[in-house]
Amino acid sequence: MKFEIDENLPAEVAAMLGAMGFDADTVHDERLAGAQDPVVVAAAAEASRVLLTLYKGIANLEEYPAGQHGVVVLLRPPRSGRGAVMEFLRERLPELIRLDLQGRLTVVGPTRIRIR
């Protein structure tokens, strides 16, 4: 599985995923820092990467209709901060990677994962 790490996530997420054997790039690595969200979503889809983000606006199905983009995963950790986000992703990743995410928006919360 290949991941694109949005700029609102700690850059260490890419290193953590890489250490777990995943291919992970950041929006910054792709020279997309500061780009509009539709550009980032499209670039991740074109590269067949799962876009990981904290941006709630990405869950707007009118703007990002299901099936019309690649894979977008919205992380909704219960606490903010670098360490809390890293811990949350470490805990939720095993369940997340078992799911069929293609063409879907997936919202990962503290107690459940919703697929749209």
| Domains within the chain, CATH numbers bracketed | 2-115 (3.40.50)
Tell whether the model's pLDDT for residue 63 goes beyond 80: no
pLDDT at position 83: 94
State mean pLDDT over 54-62: 80
Rounded Cα distance, 41 and 69, in Å: 7
Strand arrangement of the beta sheet that strand 50-53 belongs to: 23-26, 2-5, 50-53, 71-75, 105-108, 113-115
- Give the sign of the dihedral formed by CA 32, CA 101, CA 24, CA 56: positive
Per-residue pLDDT of 20-50, as tens digits, reads 999 999 999 999 999 988 899 889 989 999 9
Tell whether the model's pLDDT for residue 101 goes beyond 90: no
Rounded Cα distance, 66 and 103, in Å: 6
- For the chain, what percent of residues have pLDDT higher than 70? 94
